[in-house]
Chains A and B, each alone.
Chain A
Amino acid sequence: MALQVEPGVGTPVSVDTGNRAAPRKRRRVRAFLRNPTFVAGAAILAFFVFLALFADFLCPGDPLDMVAPPVLWPGQDLAFPLGTDSLGRDVLAGLVHGSRASLLVGISAAAIGLAIGMFVGALAGFFGGWIDTALTRLIELFQTTPTFILVIVIVAIGEPNLQTIALAIGLASWPTVARLVRAQFRSLRESDFVMAARSLGYSRWRIILQEILPNALPPVIVAASVMIANAILTEAGLSFLNMRDPDIVSWGGMIGAGRDQLRTAWFLTALPGATIALAVLSLNLVGDGLNEILNPRTEP
């Protein structure tokens, strides 16, 4: 029996084993930092997260309080650098505090949508057969309903507060994730390593959770960032239609309130509008960057 170490396999490998485990993590981090799209998106997003976390510190007091004469233009009074609206509320304070509502709704709606979508998609994709047929019909049922109308209906039935809005957006947005996860599961369940896992005696749930799910995640993570962006847009749209929590300032609500002065004080709609665009852009940039980084073909 040839017991010696095979030169063909052994040597080139042992050369680069010296410093292995530690640099891999660093290489991962570097892959993120080398991606300009991701860095730009993450930087803008971090800025909004910073605003949301320290809103009370940056702009103390209730942003819905009347603090100044109405319709001050930006720069007119340096105490209110972005001006005030028709009720004399500070626009800057509104934008800073509004980031809370937008991010909170965006993240919780995406979390709800992801949870439902991944569960349904995993079941349909893994088990196939009649389970798949039934769940696919359910997905199609939700997909044929216009998302925004569905959200409006759910919010109209419930109370227009942040929880209801997040739940409504989550309930309307899961089919995209479900289809994505289902497709991933369908191809991965036939893969060799799933066969290997079955041949080693693992149960179905263990195969679903540990073998397939981690491998199905990269496109889902990318989709999640876009889902947060869409949820923020939907929340803004709802607020514009006045379907919002009246006690909480939000970017969409500010656009709705500024609509009446669109010709005389356009900045009242333009500023929150630009903010929404910037937030959504940052999430999309993060999504694009993640898509490039998590692509297994470019794995370091």
Chain B
Amino acid sequence: MSLLTVDRLSVAFPGHTAVREASFSIAAGETLALVGESGCGKSITAFSVMRLLPSNARIASGRILLDGIDLLSLSEPEMREVRGAKVSLIQQEPMTSLNPVLSIGLQITEVIRRHERLSRKAARARAIELLDLVRIPDAHRRIDDHPHNLSGGMRQRVMIAMAVACRPKLLIADEPTTALDVTTQAQVLDLLDDLRRRLGMAVLLITHDLGVVAQWADRIAVMYAGRIVEEAGIEPFFAQPMHPYSRGLLGARVDVDADEHYSTNRLSEIPGSVGSAAGEAGCSFAPRCPVAESACRQAVPSLLALQDDRAVACPVTIAHEGGPHGAARR
């Protein structure tokens, strides 16, 4: 049974719908990468799981099950017991995500004491262990530092320490390394992966970096214009992306191993922009799609299982691959 199941989630803002009928699930201990370009609704999906949407956003329909409990039916105080204890969030911007006036030790001990009955002293000892765990050197000394004494990578480690302090079952990492330089990025992702194994967490990794996905995720869900258009395991996905959008995304990468360089090879691109299909019926990728047929502009394609653990929302691809696998999955 999966740890988190998001079932036909739709999130509406006044005037537009950010997430449409998104469904995916994460098994315990697994890393699912949620991928898509800016504004496709991946962060909103993640914030829906935490129930921390902006005040003008509204969950229009759907269910979010964590360990069989529908998070959308919980009251706000009940939800506060879930946040930080069962589901944690790591944000994009480590420079501004820590409270600048409190020492990092205090911030970590407060989290522990928020969810667990521990004395101040015991919580402090746990905080030092956690700083060790996220590989901050000299943890017993750094614990009294304030955020402005730390570099971006260090601050992201502290954020991770706070997020895993109460051993959550699910860690949502919202582009955790976008603000960091490349070497620090690899260290932080290594650390996340290591913690996932050691603490048995599942990770929902939100990113737009396919390199990150290839190296650190188990499965991938590709989002386009608020819908999930393809869901697959990492190896089959990179070996053979199914949805035309996924193929476009992978085609737009520079493959260093194949000795490609932007000065010698022309980079392929996906024509048009995400807004192209605004207000039109049918598949929202159709205006940019190289294989679109007239049927694509009639009805919204649903996500259909193509093989085991592989689903794609493109009737053209499915017809080409020889029809859906078994009954329609969702």
Contacts and interface: CB of A to CB of B under 8 A. Distances in A.
Contacts of A6: 135, 183, 187
A21 B145 CA distance: 7
B139 to A, nearest CB: 11
B48 to A, nearest CB: 13
B121 interface: no
B260 interface: no
A30 B194 CA distance: 43
Interface in B91-142: 91, 93, 96-102, 110-111, 114-115, 135, 137-138, 141-142
- Secondary structure call for the A interface: helix
A201 B85 contact: yes
B138 A193 contact: no
A62 B225 CA distance: 81
A201 B115 CA distance: 8
Interface stretch (A7-15, A71-79, A269-277): A7-15
A185 B31 CA distance: 36
Interface residues of A, number: 33
B138 A201 contact: no
Contacts of B153: 9
B225 to A, nearest CB: 25
- The listed residue with most A CB atoms (<10 A of its CB), out of B114, B153, B163, is B114
A202 B52 CA distance: 12
- The listed residue with most B CB atoms (<10 A of its CB), out of A193, A201, A210, A296, is A201
A145 interface: no
Contact of A198 (B83, B93, B163): B83
B148 interface: yes
B91 A5 contact: no
Nearest to A11: B137
Contacts of A128: 55
B321 interface: no
A13 B153 CA distance: 12
B169 to A, nearest CB: 14
Contacts of A200: 83-84, 88, 111, 114, 162-163
A192 B97 CA distance: 5
A191 interface: yes
B83 to A, nearest CB: 4
Interface string A19-50: 01100000000000000000000000000000
A3 B154 CA distance: 15
B98 A193 contact: yes
B184 interface: yes
B289 interface: no
Contact of B89 (A20, A199, A214, A215): A199
A13 to B, nearest CB: 7
Interface string A116-146: 0000000000001100000000000000000
A14 B50 CA distance: 36
Nearest to B52: A198
A196 interface: yes
Contacts of A197: 99
B137 A14 contact: yes
A153 interface: no
B148 A8 contact: no
Contacts of B151: 9, 13
B274 interface: no
A2 B187 contact: yes
A192 B194 contact: no
Given A5-B135, A20-B145, A196 B98 contact: yes
A95 to B, nearest CB: 40
A201 B81 contact: yes
Given A20-B144, A201-B81, A201-B85, A192 B96 contact: yes
A14 B139 CA distance: 10
A199 B83 contact: yes
A78 B111 CA distance: 67
A13 B139 CA distance: 12
Contacts of B148: 299
A211 interface: yes
B329 interface: no
A13 B137 contact: yes
B18 interface: no
Interface string B43-58: 0000000101001000
Interface of B: 50, 52, 55, 80-85, 88-89, 91, 93, 96-102, 110-111, 114-115, 135, 137-138, 141-142, 144-145, 148-149, 151, 153-154, 159, 162-163, 183-184, 187, 190, 193-194
Given A193-B96, A193-B99, 20 more contacts: A13-B142, A13-B151, A21-B141, A21-B144, A128-B55, A193-B98, A195-B52, A195-B89, A196-B89, A199-B84, A199-B89, A201-B80, A201-B83, A201-B84, A201-B115, A203-B80, A210-B102, A210-B110, A215-B99, A215-B101
19 contacts: A5-B137, A13-B138, A21-B144, A195-B89, A195-B91, A196-B97, A197-B99, A199-B50, A199-B88, A199-B89, A199-B91, A200-B111, A200-B163, A201-B81, A201-B82, A201-B85, A211-B99, A214-B102, A215-B100
CB-based closest 3 A-B pairs: A200-B84, A201-B84, A199-B89
